[in-house]
Amino acid sequence: MDFLGLEWYWWLIILVALVISLPLKIKFMKWWSKRREDKKENGKWGADE
């Protein structure tokens, strides 16, 4: 049993990796946008330093 040339367990591994990585990516994006906002407010964005 294979789908697009991969065995079923490879699809299971890919699915598990996606399920684990999506919340981490969302958390990282929220942290990154907050970090950028903090830098803008403090005047440390670009050539101000």
Strands 2-3 and 6-7: antiparallel
Contact by Cβ (8 Å): 8, 1:
yes
Backbone φ/ψ region at 34: left (φ over 0), alpha (ψ -120 to 50), beta = alpha
* pTM of the shown model: 0.50
Say what the pLDDT of residue 16 is: 96
pLDDT in tens, 14-36: 999 999 999 999 999 999 999 98
Q: Is the dihedral of CA 26, 29, 35, 40 positive or negative?
A: negative
Token readout for 31 is 């942290």
Angle in degrees, CA 18, 20, 24, rounded to 5: 105
